[in-house]
Amino acid sequence: MNKADLIGSIAEKSGLSKAEASSALDAFVSSVSDALASGERISLVGFGSFSVDQRGERMGRNPRTGEEIQIAAKNVVKFKPGAGLSAAVN
């Protein structure tokens, strides 16, 4: 499912127009991005939770040359599915 398919599904299930569903989805994505960028954790009961974790600096290897390289530390987004989502897919 791509973004257009998701917008169509949201519009159909909620009774919104596709333009309204697109605006709602964009607002959701923007809100989640802003919250995660500020270090907040987002928990949607039954669906799951999003959080930011720090991945430390580490050594890696260039697969082409075999040369060792230093990989910088960075923040990564993690998602942990909730019980309702896990039950729905199993």
What stretches of the chain adopt beta strand conformation (E)? Answer: 42-44, 48-55, 58-61, 68-71, 74-81
Looking at residue 24, what is its pLDDT? 96
Looking at residue 69, what is its pLDDT? 95
Q: What is the pLDDT of residues 24-80, one digit of tens each?
A: 999 999 999 999 999 999 999 999 999 999 999 999 999 999 999 999 999 999 999
Looking at residue 61, what is its pLDDT? 95
Looking at residue 58, what is its pLDDT? 96
Specify the 3-state DSSP secondary structure of 89: helix
